[in-house]
């Protein structure tokens, strides 16, 4: 009888593992099916506050005393219901001309390569088209005067930073911007834009992620 129950338990465990494996494969297939170039709902223009990044990445190429304030982190295709496509096929490397264009937008070669491979491939625009779109999106957002590079730390609440951006860019709706912090410091500002690169509302999951009260905006390096 003990042998019988052991066999039953082994069969149950085997089918359970098969079911779990099948579920994982289904989930993986779903993710791959969603990551199709050009199939997304809107863009998220992500601007990184370089001085905060450089607090923990002192050896990065953008942290060599260039005095950056906000830099382009990326232009990310997004789904309105949450999530995003990534690393869409065909994943091709940048040509010399495309690379040269990209380096006029992104602060480092490493970031350019990463952003093209992970996000740019999903735009459906091709490399030069994606870089042109990034250039246009970057040019459409005016950085508030109070958030231009400076030599001393400033302190603002996250909602104040969002309000500064909306005042400098009247087309940004209240639900069209998110402020992101890394601990007590400002890390990024994310602006939601339609496929036409006009300002628009953010989709599910894109929201401000900062503590309450003042957050520090470190000075330029």
Beta bridge partners of 48: 71, 188
Q: Are 183 and 150 in contact (CB under 8 A)?
A: no
Among all residues, which ones are annotated catalytic? 73, 115, 119
* 71: β partners: 48
Q: What is the mean pLDDT of each run of 10 residues along the chain (221 residues)?
A: 43 44 43 78 98 95 92 98 96 96 98 98 98 98 96 96 98 97 98 98 97 95 75
State the pTM of this model. Answer: 0.84
Angle at 14 (CA atoms; ends 10, 18), nearest 5 degrees: 170
Distance, CA of 28 to CA of 18 (rounded, Å): 15
Return the closest-CA partner of residue 38 out of 118, 124, 116. 124
> DSSP class of residue 46?
E
């Amino acid at each position: 009888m003990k042998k019988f129950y052991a066999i039953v338990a082994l069969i149950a465990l085997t089918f359970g593992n098969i079911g779990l494996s099948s579920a994982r494969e289904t989930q993986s297939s779903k993710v791959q099916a969603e990551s199709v170039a050009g199939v997304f709902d809107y863009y998220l223009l992500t601007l990184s506050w370089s001085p905060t990044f450089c607090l923990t990445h002192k050896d990065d190429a953008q942290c060599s005393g260039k005095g950056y304030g906000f830099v382009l982190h990326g232009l990310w295709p997004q789904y309105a219901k949450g999530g995003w496509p990534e690393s869409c096929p065909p994943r091709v490397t940048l040509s010399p001309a495309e690379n040269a264009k990209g380096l006029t937008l992104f602060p480092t070669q490493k970031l350019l390569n990463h952003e093209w491979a992970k996000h740019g491939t999903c735009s459906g625009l091709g490399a030069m088209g994606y870089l042109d779109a990034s250039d246009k999106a970057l040019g459409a957002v005016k950085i508030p005067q109070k958030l231009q590079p400076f030599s001393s730390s400033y302190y603002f609440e996250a909602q104040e930073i969002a309000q500064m951006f909306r005042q400098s860019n009247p087309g940004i709706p209240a639900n069209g911007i998110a402020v992101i912090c890394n601990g007590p410091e400002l890390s990024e500002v994310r602006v939601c834009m339609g496929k036409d690169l006009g300002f628009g509302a953010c989709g599910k999951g894109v929201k401000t992620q900062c503590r309450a009260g003042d957050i520090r905006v470190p000075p330029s390096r």
